[in-house]
Structures are given as C-alpha cells and as structure tokens.
Amino acid sequence: MSVSTAASAPTICAPLPVLGRDVTVPLVTGGEVTYAALDYAASAPALQRVWDDVAAYAPYYGSVHRGAGYLSQLSTDLFENARRTVAEFLDCRADDQLIFTRSTTDSLNLLAAALPAGCQVFVFETEHHASLLPWQNAEVTYLDAPRTPRQAVETLERALAARTASADGGHAPALVCVTGASNVTGELWPVRELAAAAHAHGARIVLDAAQLAPHHPVSVQDLDVDWIAFSGHKLYAPFGSGVLAGRADWLIAADPYLAGGGASRKVSRRADGGVDVEWHESAARHEAGSPNVIGAYSIASACKALTEAGFDTLVARERYLIEKVREGLAGVPEVRILSLFGDDAPRVGVLSFVVDGWNSSHFAAALSAEYGIGVRDGLFCAHPLVRTLLGSDPGTQGECGAPEAAPGEKSLNAIRVSFGAGTPDEHVDRFVTAVRELVTDGAQWNYRTVDGRCVPAV
C-alpha cells in the first residue's frame, strides 16, 4: 500500500462536513481557538449528512415492529431498510444475518454468548479489550504480539495446528478474533490471510472492524470473514448503535442475547404454570426490546455518505494526512512513534507515540489547554499491546485512558492522535507545530494531577 506525500496535496479532496467543525474553545494562555478534534479513534464526530438525516426523520419517530399506525410503519420500514443498507455496505452474503447492537463491545459479547459448547477461541494479545475480553467462558488461547503480518499468520497457523483432537478424532469448534486496524498503532492487519489460515484449520473468524470500517472499504465476502463487528460512533454516527453481521447458524442455535419482547415469536403458559417460548430465528432473536431506530438509521446514513464520497478518494486524503503527521513528528527526535510492523506498514489515521522527558498525560493536557487540540493519552483499552510496545513489565498496573503518575514522573501511558474524513489540514498542521513547540520550549502553564488526570493548575 503506497503512501501519498505532501506533493500530492493539490489533488486531495476537502474533508467531509462534520458537526463541531466551527466550535471554539478557550485557551489557558488567553483567547479562543477552533477546536481540533484529533481523537477520532475514540469517537468520531457526526457527519453533517448523518445529523441532517436524523433531524429530518425525528418528527416521524415511532415504535418499531409494534404498531399499526403510520409513524410506526414508517419507522419499521426505515429500520429494516437501514439493515439492508448496512449489509450492502459490508458486502454481506445473501444468507448472513445483520444484528443491530449497541457497539463493537456489545456485538462481540453477543457472539461470545452464541459460541457452541466446547468452542476454542484464539485471540492476539494486541486486541482492544472489546475483542480481547468477551471470551472468558470459552477455552481461550492468547497469542503473542507478532512483529510482522507474516508472523501473525504463522503464529495463528501454529496455534490452530496444535489444537487437541476430540474423542472422535475431530476438533471442537474454533473461533479466531482479530482486528482489522489497530486502535493503538493504526496498522492494518492481514485479515484475508488470517481468514484463510483459520478456514484451512476448520476454524471461523470474526473481524473487529471498529477502526477499519471508517477508513477503508470492508467486504465480508472479499475478506472471507465469518462475522464482522463495528460501532456507529466511530463511523461518524454517534447515536449508540453497533453492528454484528455474519453467518446465521451459531446465532440461531444460541439462546437470545436478551430475553424479552421482539425476540419471541410465541409465548404460552404451560399446565404446570411455567412458560413456553418460541424464539425468532431472524436477527430479531437477538434484538429484544425497542430497537434503537435512530442509531440504526444513523449508521445507514453514514454508510451511504462514505460510499457516495468514494473510499478511493477518502483513503488517498487520509494517506496524505498520515504522511503529514509522520513527516512532522520525524523532525522531533524526542518523539517515538509506536509500531508493531515497522514504520512503512500501511495504516489508518491512528498514531500513538511517547515523548522523551514528558509524561504523556502532561503532554496531552498541554495540547488541549494551550493549543485547543484534543488527543488521547493512556493505554487506550489495549493494555497488553501498549505495554509490549513500551517494553514495560506486563504486570504493571494501569488504567484505561487515565494517567498513572503526576507530570514528570515515570508512567505507563502514551499519546494517541487520530483523524479521518472530517479532519481539515489545519488541525494536523497545528498539531505538528504544537508538538515541536512543546518539546522545544516546554509548556507555558503549570499542571497538576486531579483524580488521576493532568489538568491546568488554577
């Protein structure tokens, strides 16, 4: 995957309009500045298109799958059309199910609850906690962090080949869970090759596309994954919805993720006083309760907007921004960018780094308070990976997203800058300038730690 350079800037498209692009924030040094939102990997701003679509629908909001009235029927059609739109966006197979959930975390916990008995799960230690932790009730094999994409495939192949055969000479069901793009380094993982390795050994694979889907086209069929999970709030649709899409058999065989209205087709009392339930076999089986129609509609709207903008154009612009950041940080010797696969590895617009002589929380606080730039600091809900990249003791304690020491003290955390389709050049330019100035001149303000977070001293 080639990387565009600054020389290609004249052909790069403008950023997509997003909410908050004109918001101003105060600086501790005086005055105000337009806020530079560079924490897309946590939650991306809503596309203006998504907001407009939701606002246009809001007066017609009604119950889904529940009522005979016009608004209920309209909302039901909109909800099911959203399902079809997202399935098309993901290039799902004809017999796949697409379930609307709350988030990637919710999607993967749903799949974990649907695993067949005796299922073995294989997951790299490099995963976000959303895909690292849901498998606690299964037999889990945690794989060491690879240092090349090829090593990732080889590590998985060895682990799958070493599975213990069952009494009948076969193997228990197996599931591989892998990210498409790291939420820490932004590096792209060899999903297609990992899927081929999984299938060659009789295993299935689920793709955590939370960081991939907002930046690159994702095809279930081309990647040959069995399931895919992602969150709306990272796809410019922050209305509390997510997606799990893929093969139906395990989902149909499992008890509903939530028991309640909507999941049940028929409920009747038994003579002994109990209750018999017949559950749906469609996606409704795992969508009990009143569905988040606005969340589902917002995801569909974002999918349409990204498709219409053209991923070729969006990817080209993002590569240009990535190169601007990398070139800018390369000129600051004190900065070390974290990477598993090396500097030239293809990535999405996510980079994490540390600065010699700085506590990462202190640095992030100064970026915000003195420059109006929002980034992330901490361990990014990927503790084992960040510890590996920092060369830290795996047993060292840390909190997700919060610093562990006062400014200037040794601390286990890093800084993450992330951007996407709505990021203007000025935000990236300001960020690079701010890093250089902070490293060269130091902070202009004093900071202290309050409730575990570095903040400007009053």
Residue from 92, 119, 177, 381 carrying the catalytic annotation: 381
Mean confidence (pLDDT) of the chain? 92
Q: What is the pLDDT of residue 169?
A: 61
Q: What is the pLDDT of residue 400?
A: 41
Residue 8 has pLDDT above 90, yes or no: no
Question: What percent of the chain lies above the pLDDT cut of 70?
Answer: 92
Helices (runs of H) and strands (runs of E) counted in the chain: 13, 19
What amino acid occupies position 41?
Answer: A
Local structure of residue 317 (DSSP, 8 states): H
How far is it, in rounded angstroms, from Cα 157 to Cα 330? 36
How far is it, in rounded angstroms, from Cα 124 to Cα 340? 13
Q: What is the pLDDT of residue 5?
A: 39
User: DSSP 3-state assignment of 49?
Assistant: helix
Q: CA angle 340-344-349, nearest 5°? A: 80
pLDDT band at 11 (very low <50, low <70, confident <90, very high): low
Q: What is the pLDDT of residue 393?
A: 52
pTM (predicted TM-score): 0.92
pLDDT band at 4 (very low <50, low <70, confident <90, very high): very low
Cα pseudo-dihedral 439, 346, 212, 411, rounded to 10? -30
What amino acid occupies position 408?
Answer: G
Q: What is the pLDDT of residue 30?
A: 96
Distance of CA 182 to the CA centre of its chain: 8
449 membership: H or E segment, kind and range: strand 447-450
345: left (phi over 0), alpha (psi -120 to 50) or beta: beta
Among 289, 282, 283, 281, CA closest to 259 = 289
Tell me which residue has tokens 């988030």.
103
Q: What is the mean pLDDT of residues 360-386?
A: 95
381: left (phi over 0), alpha (psi -120 to 50) or beta: left
Q: What is the mean pLDDT of residues 22-30?
A: 97
Q: Cβ neighbours of residue 396 under 8 Å, at least 6 residues apart?
A: 387, 412
How far is it, in rounded angstroms, from Cα 224 to Cα 204? 10
- Taking only the tens place, the pLDDT of each residue in 233-267 is 999 999 999 999 999 999 999 999 999 989 988 99
Q: What is the pLDDT of residue 12?
A: 64
Q: Cβ neighbours of residue 80 under 8 Å, at least 6 residues apart?
A: none
Local structure of residue 350 (DSSP, 8 states): E
Residue 405 has pLDDT above 50, yes or no: no
How far is it, in rounded angstroms, from Cα 201 to Cα 108? 22
Half-sphere exposure in the Cβ direction for 24 (13 Å, CA): 6
Annotated active-site residue 381? The verdict is yes
Local structure of residue 18 (DSSP, 8 states): B
Among 410, 382, 372, CA closest to 20 = 372
Cβ neighbours of 357 (radius 10 Å)? 10
Q: Cβ neighbours of residue 375 under 8 Å, at least 6 residues apart?
A: 38, 39, 364, 367, 368, 415, 416, 417, 418, 431
Longest dimension (CA), the chain: 80
Q: How far apart are the first and last CA of the chain?
A: 48
User: DSSP 3-state assignment of 263?
Assistant: coil
- Taking only the tens place, the pLDDT of each residue in 107-162 is 999 999 999 999 999 999 999 999 999 999 999 999 999 999 999 999 999 999 99
Joined together, the tokens standing for residue 234 give 């990272």
User: DSSP 3-state assignment of 64?
Assistant: coil
Instruction: Report phi then psi at 74, rounded to 5.
Output: -65, -45
